[in-house]
């Protein structure tokens, strides 16, 4: 599908996929594509415009008006929704509670997968999401599947939300993660599954530096 290198990182929510992918892209001088942010931005647009998630025609029309772009600033990747910076807003709990449901919609996935494949064909990229190694780039030379203990994932997410000033309980975060896991793994369109050739990275007891080295070792093995 592409002559460029794609490193695919899939896995459960709140496993630190984006943190690892950003660090890996910076280390390798690749472009980081946060596919989760793309689905979150679409979700935000749907919320703002009261799009009925059961109305396929309304959804298809809305997608025509959604333009997403990534840009880098201060070594961080930011996403814009119709030229508006929304990197922080899409991480709020209101979006988290709906994004998995939006991600099950066939027309949404079809449009975003098409955009992701176009991005991966033009540059060397690190791309993280739920179906990168299975649907978007099944021929990616390096595939990682991330997982961690659900309680640890909830604790990490809870601390992240508190730091951003969210008024949320640990129980709510845990329930949200469990709900997203269920939807992600049971949805009809591109469910979250490990690609047969993906390497499992369980980071329950690994820090960020150890996770980065784990993947770099796999990349170096591939490049030999």
Token pair listed for 41: 């931005």
Q: What is the CA radius of gyration of the chain?
A: 17
**What pLDDT is recorded for position 21?**
94
> In the block, which residue shows the tokens 């996935």?
109
**What pLDDT is recorded for position 1?**
43
State the 10-residue block means of pLDDT for the chain, 224 residues long: 80 92 92 90 98 97 94 75 95 92 94 90 88 94 96 94 91 94 89 95 96 94 75
DSSP string, 12-31: -TTSSHHHHHHHHHHHHTPE
Query: ∠ CA(112), CA(211), CA(68), 5° rounding?
Result: 20
**What pLDDT is recorded for position 2?**
47
47 contacts: CB under 8 Å, gap ≥ 6:
94, 95, 98
The crossing angle, in degrees rounded to 10, of helices 56-64 and 35-48 is 110
**What pLDDT is recorded for position 4?**
78
């Amino acid at each position: 599908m592409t002559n460029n290198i794609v490193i695919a990182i899939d896995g459960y929510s709140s496993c630190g996929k984006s943190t690892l992918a950003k660090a890996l892209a910076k280390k390798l001088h690749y472009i980081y594509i946060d596919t989760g942010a793309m689905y979150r931005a679409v979700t935000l647009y749907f919320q703002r415009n009261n799009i009925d998630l059961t109305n396929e025609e309304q959804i298809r029309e809305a997608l025509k008006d959604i333009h997403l772009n990534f840009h880098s600033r201060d070594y961080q990747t930011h996403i814009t929704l119709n030229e508006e910076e929304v990197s922080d807003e899409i991480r709020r709990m209101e979006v988290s509670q709906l994004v998995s449901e939006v991600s099950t919609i066939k027309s949404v996935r079809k449009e975003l997968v098409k955009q992701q494949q176009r991005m991966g064909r033009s540059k060397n990229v690190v791309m993280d999401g739920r179906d990168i190694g299975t649907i978007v780039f099944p021929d990616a030379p390096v595939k990682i599947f991330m997982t961690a203990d659900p309680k640890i994932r909830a604790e990490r997410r809870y601390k992240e939300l508190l730091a951003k000033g969210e008024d949320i309980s640990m129980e709510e975060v845990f329930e949200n993660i469990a709900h997203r896991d269920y939807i992600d793994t049971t949805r009809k369109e591109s469910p979250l599954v490990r690609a047969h050739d993906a390497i499992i990275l369980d980071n329950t007891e690994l820090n960020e530096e150890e996770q980065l080295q784990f993947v770099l070792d796999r990349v170096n093995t591939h490049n030999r």
